[in-house]
Amino acid sequence: MTNTDPVVVVIEDDPAIRLFLRTGLSAHRFKVFEAERGQQGIIEAGVRKPDLIILDLGLPDMDGVEVIKSIRAWSAMPIIILSARSAEQHKIDALDAGADDYLTKPFGLGELLARIRVALRHSASGPAQDEGGMFVTGALKVDLLKRQVFVGDNEVHLTPIQYRLLSLLIKNAGKVLTHQYILKEVWGPSYKDNSHYLRIYMSQLRQKLESDPTQPQYLLTESGVGYRLKA
């Protein structure tokens, strides 16, 4: 372990899961600090200034969503939820409160590590683009300065709303965005309940950008919650 190892604060009341996370993350060169209560976790986050927080929602002293809101009042550090709550509304509430990602227990260490890597890359680089304003994932390339979109060597022409939707996903590449958030950002607050708009435009984007729109590689669905652009 070195001073450059990423710091993670785990806020989780289950000792067995804390042990699993401490052992697994430490083996992958993460420096792990723990808290079993929400208020303790908020203090740890303020003191340790971690690179990432792993948070359970069902804490003994407060709901995890309140922990997210408290941390988001002063920090944009990535927050990944690990929770036994699998209902879609629980996921939506946590993501809308400011969480970056959500995994349902039971979970695999490999998937958690992959989500952590995406969250840390997103946090370090901001929008997933190089210095020339070019976003690239697989064959999909978007020149954000010239507002040009390519799949391989072929330029793809998007409508203004299609491009606005894609730009929002690029700005948050790797992060789950809820239906309500996307609708508010792309169409405006009065459209946040019109999810059929989003389904239509996402289908149009997939037709233009995916080699097989029924098996998307880039524009991924988080069932019942929202969408994620693969980073």
pLDDT in tens, 56-105: 999 999 999 999 999 988 888 899 999 888 788 888 999 989 999 999 98
Instruction: Tell if the pTM clears 0.75, that is, is over it.
Output: no
Pairwise CA distance, residues 51 & 1, whole Å: 15
Q: Higher-confidence residue: 2 or 181? A: 181
Report the pLDDT value the prediction gives residue 156, as an integer from 0 to 100.
Answer: 95
pLDDT band at 129 (very low <50, low <70, confident <90, very high): low
**Low-confidence winner among 56-60, 80-84, 106-110, 118-122 (lowest mean pLDDT):** 118-122
H or E segment to which residue 23 belongs: helix 15-27
pLDDT in tens, 164-206: 899 899 988 888 899 988 988 888 777 777 888 899 999 999 9
pLDDT of 38 over the 60 cut: yes
H or E segment to which residue 11 belongs: strand 7-11
Closest by CA position to 74, among listed 103, 95, 43, 100: 43
pLDDT in tens, 132-158: 578 898 999 998 878 899 999 999 999
Q: Is 86 exposed, middle or buried (0-12, 13-18, 19+ CB in 10 A)?
A: exposed
Per-residue pLDDT averaged across 227-231, rounded?
A: 88
Find tokens 């303790």 and name the residue: 40
pLDDT of 124 over the 80 cut: no
Report the pLDDT value the prediction gives residue 122, as an integer from 0 to 100.
Answer: 74
Report the pLDDT value the prediction gives residue 169, as an integer from 0 to 100.
Answer: 93
